[in-house]
Structure 1
Amino acid sequence: MMYFSRKLPIGVQSFKDLREKEFLYVDKTEYIFRLTNASKVYFLSRPRRFGKSLFLSTLKAYFLGQKELFKGLAIEKFEEAEKEKREIWQEYPVFYFDFNVGKYAETEALNERLDFLLKDIEKQYEIIPGSRDSFGSRFERAIKTAYEKTGKQVVILVDEYDKPLLQTMGVNEELNAEYKAVLRAFYSVLKSTDQYLRFAFLTGVTKFSKVSIFSDLNSLNDISINPDFSAICGLTQKELEETFRPEIETLAGRNELSYEDCLSALKKRYDGYCFAYGTETMYNPFSLLNVFFSKQFADYWFATGTPTFLVNELKREDYNIPELDGNVEMIESFLSDYRVGADSVIPVLFQSGYLTIKDYDKEYRMYRLGFPNEEVRYGFLYNLLPEYSNISFIKTSFNVVQFTKDLKAGKVDGFMQRLKSIMASLPYDTVKKESGESLALREHNFQVCVYLIFALMGQFVEVETPSSMGRTDCVVKTEKTIYIFEFKLKESAEAALKQIKEKNYAERYKADNKEIILIGVSFNPKEGTVGEWLSEKL
């Protein structure tokens, strides 16, 4: 097989660097023309590693008038068509605030970052700040001075405005509240200096309620779930196939797949992000670039960060975990704003990219959400399991593959013993063992843990994991056998097996011409684990 490699922009966030060094680029410049000629102050929420920084860098190059970088791109012809109406490729003063840099767990981290960024601007425009000037005052003076010295309105670009908030949320609420106050005062300057601004664009992962951060920005144009801008970041199916066909062919050859099967595998694993109902789903560009570089299907995006806060919040709320798999309902107004104190982590899961839009009920204005793809689904469920089972992936050799191998080999008792040992580690949390609430917690953890193990097995075999205990709890299909499980929390394994037979759960699987094994399982409330199990072949 001939080795093939082109320059993939993994980690490249500078548009200037990308163009001058001839990295592959998917043209998104049409959106720049539309944005800069339509409104003035924008906000865009997108998951991490989705191309927000590169888009901001592209805006920066445009407003610095770096025409040579845009040669052959869509915006070049749009600008040319405007030259009779206005001066094109003008240079403006650009203030770029990048909050990607820094660890914000320390008390002074945000102040130090703002001071560093403002000092750079003040040096450029020869501004000497007062020793007691607030960040807001320094920001306002910088905007007015740049306007006076250049005669041009100022462009403000803010990358990952919410990084300080996300790093302290659920970890240090006092510092989080302090950061909100600092940022609220800082961004309020955008309203008071409106006449000096040509354009402003803020990006982040989450959109905290306007009441807390953007309280004074009534004119803020949030395009996060606007259908016209759903493809502003990320890659469409067409962009994937038109730009990366050689890479897809190489990936297919390396993994012994046909071109079409390779496309299907990419779609199943990395596609599925929907930011406005009725629009085309998007691929995560970070995952695609990495799979093309390594020529291996793996979990790249999820490996760059663990959603610890989100996992903890789901557990704190006793959320029904199976609903995350495509059955989360959220009203339209809650989807766009994260409202502190609303007792729901779902909007943050959506804005962070762990959930995406699956359907929309126009009559009731309700969205249905679920995992966008396999990379996110299995990555998120894998991170949930230790919280409900006390499994340490670092200290133990646990792997869901071991469960799968048992069933493929027909080792029912081995599978159940393994499940029992995992269940024996179910946490009691902080509730006393003898209390009724403790039993409820153990039952809840038991249900969630069972669901997670079977759901994770779905990477390797076909698994049905319904969200209620009122019908067949789980069905696992291997090459030769179909296993039908029924779990009982307050009844015997015999009763569980009897229910499978009486409700004729096996009937719809008989046409598969495979061996069918029924397995009834009971929960031991005293031990907090699997009590007994009975299996029977049909």
Structure 2
Amino acid sequence: MTPAYKFPIGIQNFRDIRRNGYIYVDKTGYIRRLVDTGKYYFLSRPRRFGKSLLMSTIEAYFKGCKELFEGLEIATYEKEWKEYPVFHLDLSGENYNDIPTLTKVLNYFLSEIEKNYGLSEDGHTVALRFKNAIKGVYDKTGRQVVILVDEYDTPLTQTLTSPELQEEFRNMLKGFYGVMKSMDGYIKLAMLTGVTRFSKVSIFSDLNNLRDISFLPEYNAICGVAESEIVSYFTPAISSFADKRNIPVSAMAEELRRNYDGYRFADPAECEGIYNPFSLLNALASESIGDYWFETGTPTFLVRLLQKKNYPLDRLNKAEASQDELKGLDLAMAGIIPLMYQSGYLTIRDFDRQFGLYTLGFPNKEVERGFLNFLFPYYTSIRNGNGTFAIREFTRDISNGNVDSFMHRLQSLFADFPYDQIRETELHFHNVLYLVFTLLGYYTRTEYRSSRGRADLIVKTDSRIFIFEFKLDKSPREAIEQIDRMGYALPFYSEGKEIIKIGVNFSSTLRNIDSWIVEKYD
């Protein structure tokens, strides 16, 4: 543990953080910008990325809690500290399995407002009660109302596989959220946050005046920890971590960057990388690198969708999508890339301004390693979470130069796999190879290629270089001849290591590797 620093792990209340001496990365300048430049906002960010803390901070600001903001950026601008009535609805933390549950949550929210401001229950529907509460509070206080809706989309994301129930939720929330537009004169500011903005559906049709700041470079770092903020807030903690590991501070900072940095929510040319705050704080608090964020979620739905759509896994790290696709989610289309982006498993890597296309990929090692490990039992015969064990054995084989054992182990991944789940045998073959050799790359130097003109796979150890070429329904001899003919080994002669070439054939009839040849260069 790092005893000198208090990290707000799991604490989403701004008041608690400020009063109890936890580290707070100052985001208050963004609040001032929101107030000065608009009135209605929407922000999407992945889970555990600081959305709830942002909403809590906005609430404290509008409640006039001046003492909590001492020393923060907004205190240099704000002079009046007016207090406004704040309606804060948090839809997370509930299992929305039917309409009565959502109705109960909304009614409780409205009842608390009515109780706090001495209003009577007025309205036969939640939408009408909401409307009357806004006007009633304005009439009581003489101040416009601030409305904050945190995780607005929880009922919808929980029912991705239940379209009929989701449609009922949409209809109810459409009327509820739509109240805000009709009550514009009574509202000071309204902000909704969530994981996704559902597109081509009715939920936002009555609230079409929301400004979506999710992709704006100036709001890229409104949640999470920016690269520049690492130095300002966490240098002492990183130094302590480095001392424990007996490595230079620069090396420790680089390891944290590789594991937790890399998120971008706008054109990378216009914004800096963002660290996942949940994983970063956990790693610094425990002084241990771990898959903290990944382990808090189970992307089973995404994996099933990848399989259903027969998606080539090697494209995940070079996927393309337009901003319109990433902005919203049309469940009739059920695009896997927008879902993975909004869920935090992919992030923006590049932006083609001419065509308005983003290139996406895994943000960092934690997410890539965790996601591919999670995929492993869904694409191979390995079960019961033994993927890491299997990769360890692959690594031992290749490190010891035991190619035959390595290949037998690779064969076993295809054996006894339920092929009724696979529509394209060749794609499945390549997906398994991609998983094995990408995960192997965390322990050896591995390059898995799918483009022409290069060897399919290069694996380097301290003493050997392995060149793999794979064929489908041909012969391993043809693969060896291609390695020689194309001169795949030439770039490695100067390294002075033993070079081993492996030709492999995959049989679509057997649905497995049927033969291989191993030869050493003289």
- TM-score, reference length from structure 1: 0.93
Please say if 1:357 is aligned against 2:348: yes
1:225 matched residue in structure 2: 215
- Given candidates 502, 508, 514, the residue that maps to 2:491 is 508
- Following superposition, the deviation at residue 463 of structure 1 comes to 1.0
- In 2, the alpha carbon distance for the partners of 1:391 and 1:268 equals 28
Do 2:373 and 2:388's aligned partners in 1 also have CA atoms closer than 8 Å?
no
- In 2, the alpha carbon distance for the partners of 1:501 and 1:426 equals 34
Q: 1:189 to 1:390 in 2, by over 3 A?
A: farther
- In 1, the alpha carbon distance for the partners of 2:177 and 2:307 equals 34
Cα distance per residue 1:170-197 (max 9 Å; x no partner) = x322222222222112111111111110
Secondary structure of 1:216's partner?
Answer: coil
- Give percent identity, aligned residues only: 47
Do 2:43 and 2:213's aligned partners in 1 also have CA atoms closer than 8 Å?
yes
Range with bigger deviation, 108-117 or 270-279: 108-117
- In 2, the alpha carbon distance for the partners of 1:520 and 1:52 equals 51
**Residue type at the aligned position of 1:51:** G
Do 2:349 and 2:358's aligned partners in 1 also have CA atoms closer than 8 Å?
yes
**Residue type at the aligned position of 1:269:** N
- Given candidates 273, 294, 302, the residue that maps to 2:286 is 294
- Following superposition, the deviation at residue 209 of structure 1 comes to 1.1
- Following superposition, the deviation at residue 505 of structure 1 comes to 1.1
**Residue type at the aligned position of 2:473:** K
Do 1:45 and 1:224's aligned partners in 2 also have CA atoms closer than 8 Å?
yes
Q: 1:137 to 1:309 in 2, by over 3 A?
A: same
- In 2, the alpha carbon distance for the partners of 1:187 and 1:240 equals 37
Please say if 1:195 is aligned against 2:185: yes
- In 1, the alpha carbon distance for the partners of 2:450 and 2:176 equals 45
Cα distance per residue 1:86-129 (max 9 Å; x no partner) = xx211111111111111224553322222222222222233343
- What are the residue-to-residue correspondences of 1:71-150 with 2, within 5 Å? 71-80=70-79, 88-106=80-98, 108-129=100-121, 133-150=124-141
2:47 matched residue in structure 1: 48
- What are the residue-to-residue correspondences of 1:515-526 with 2, within 5 Å? 515-526=498-509
Do 1:274 and 1:356's aligned partners in 2 also have CA atoms closer than 8 Å?
yes
Please say if 1:447 is aligned against 2:441: no
Please say if 1:165 is aligned against 2:156: yes
**Residue type at the aligned position of 1:59:** I
- Following superposition, the deviation at residue 3 of structure 1 comes to 6.2
1:57 matched residue in structure 2: 56
1:473 matched residue in structure 2: 456
**Residue type at the aligned position of 1:147:** Y
- What are the residue-to-residue correspondences of 1:323-402 with 2, within 5 Å? 323-325=315-317, 327-394=318-385, 398-402=389-393
- Following superposition, the deviation at residue 427 of structure 1 comes to 2.9
Secondary structure of 1:392's partner?
Answer: coil
- Following superposition, the deviation at residue 471 of structure 1 comes to 3.9
**Residue type at the aligned position of 1:181:** N
Secondary structure of 2:190's partner?
Answer: strand
- Given candidates 206, 225, 228, the residue that maps to 1:235 is 225
- In 1, the alpha carbon distance for the partners of 2:4 and 2:304 equals 42
2:172 matched residue in structure 1: 182
Please say if 1:154 is aligned against 2:153: no
Range with bigger deviation, 219-228 or 314-323: 314-323
**Residue type at the aligned position of 1:312:** R
**Residue type at the aligned position of 2:182:** S
- Given candidates 409, 418, 439, the residue that maps to 1:418 is 409
Q: 1:34 to 1:470 in 2, by over 3 A?
A: same
- In 1, the alpha carbon distance for the partners of 2:439 and 2:88 equals 42
Q: 1:409 to 1:73 in 2, by over 3 A?
A: same
Point out where structure 1 has 5 or more consecutive residues left out of the alignment. 81-87, 431-437
- In 1, the alpha carbon distance for the partners of 2:381 and 2:408 equals 17
- Given candidates 467, 475, 479, the residue that maps to 1:492 is 475
**Residue type at the aligned position of 2:273:** T
- Following superposition, the deviation at residue 470 of structure 1 comes to 6.8
- TM-score, reference length from structure 2: 0.95
- Number of positions where the alignment pairs a residue of Structure 1 with one of Structure 2: 519
- In 1, the alpha carbon distance for the partners of 2:311 and 2:296 equals 25
- Following superposition, the deviation at residue 335 of structure 1 comes to 2.3
- Following superposition, the deviation at residue 342 of structure 1 comes to 2.9
1:26 matched residue in structure 2: 25
Do 1:355 and 1:370's aligned partners in 2 also have CA atoms closer than 8 Å?
yes
Secondary structure of 1:346's partner?
Answer: helix
- In 2, the alpha carbon distance for the partners of 1:22 and 1:323 equals 45
- In 1, the alpha carbon distance for the partners of 2:206 and 2:420 equals 42
Please say if 1:315 is aligned against 2:307: yes
Cα distance per residue 1:416-452 (max 9 Å; x no partner) = 111111111433235xxxxxxx6x5222212101111
Do 2:225 and 2:276's aligned partners in 1 also have CA atoms closer than 8 Å?
yes
Range with bigger deviation, 387-396 or 68-77: 387-396
Secondary structure of 1:299's partner?
Answer: coil
Instruction: Compute the RMSD of aligned alpha carbons.
Output: 1.8
Do 2:2 and 2:284's aligned partners in 1 also have CA atoms closer than 8 Å?
no
Secondary structure of 1:108's partner?
Answer: helix
- In 2, the alpha carbon distance for the partners of 1:202 and 1:405 equals 50
- In 2, the alpha carbon distance for the partners of 1:392 and 1:116 equals 44
Secondary structure of 1:219's partner?
Answer: coil
- Following superposition, the deviation at residue 407 of structure 1 comes to 0.6
Cα distance per residue 1:445-469 (max 9 Å; x no partner) = 1210111111111111111112347
- Following superposition, the deviation at residue 294 of structure 1 comes to 1.1
Range with bigger deviation, 12-21 or 183-192: 183-192
- In 1, the alpha carbon distance for the partners of 2:452 and 2:306 equals 20
Please say if 1:265 is aligned against 2:248: no
Range with bigger deviation, 132-141 or 475-484: 132-141
- In 1, the alpha carbon distance for the partners of 2:214 and 2:298 equals 23
- Given candidates 239, 246, 249, the residue that maps to 2:236 is 246
Please say if 1:536 is aligned against 2:516: no
Q: 1:3 to 1:148 in 2, by over 3 A?
A: closer
Q: 1:23 to 1:443 in 2, by over 3 A?
A: same
**Residue type at the aligned position of 2:245:** N
1:83 matched residue in structure 2: none
Do 1:252 and 1:258's aligned partners in 2 also have CA atoms closer than 8 Å?
yes
Do 2:502 and 2:519's aligned partners in 1 also have CA atoms closer than 8 Å?
yes
Do 2:89 and 2:150's aligned partners in 1 also have CA atoms closer than 8 Å?
yes
Do 2:99 and 2:169's aligned partners in 1 also have CA atoms closer than 8 Å?
no
- In 1, the alpha carbon distance for the partners of 2:2 and 2:64 equals 39
- Following superposition, the deviation at residue 513 of structure 1 comes to 1.7
Please say if 1:280 is aligned against 2:272: yes
